[in-house]
Amino acid sequence: MPDPHKPSPWQWLWMHSAGLALGLYWLLLLAATHWPQSPDLSEIPGSDKTAHLTAYMLLAFLLARTLTGKGPLTLTTAVMVLAIVALYAAA
């Protein structure tokens, strides 16, 4: 008899989508920041700052979503996300 509390494969994928998206995005961000021939954004004023801000905001959002799951974002989690993203950005 199937367990009524066990999620279906689609429900499991939906529940873990933030973690999967975080992992894929973090790998993409790592590759993009270490790629030897990155696109030159210096021709557009402020584009480098905007690109970095957007990249790290998305990373912070996905990390917070993954850590909180279905629960609310607490101050402790927000500080932890900020610390993780700041340390990654500084590395």
User: 63 with 84: CB under 8 angstroms?
Assistant: yes
Q: Mean of the per-residue pLDDT values for the chain?
A: 82
The amino acid present at 48, given as its one-letter code, is D
Q: Where are the beta strands (DSSP E) in 1-91?
A: none
pLDDT score, position 1: 59
- pTM for the model stands at 0.74
Who's near 41: CB < 8 A, 6+ residues apart?
Answer: 47, 48, 51
pLDDT tens column, 10-42 = 767 767 788 889 999 999 988 887 776 656 656
Compute, in degrees rounded to 10, the torsion defined by CA atoms 10, 16, 18, 21.
Answer: -80
Nearest to 55 by CA among 78, 75, 32: 32
The amino acid present at 6, given as its one-letter code, is K
pLDDT score, position 8: 76
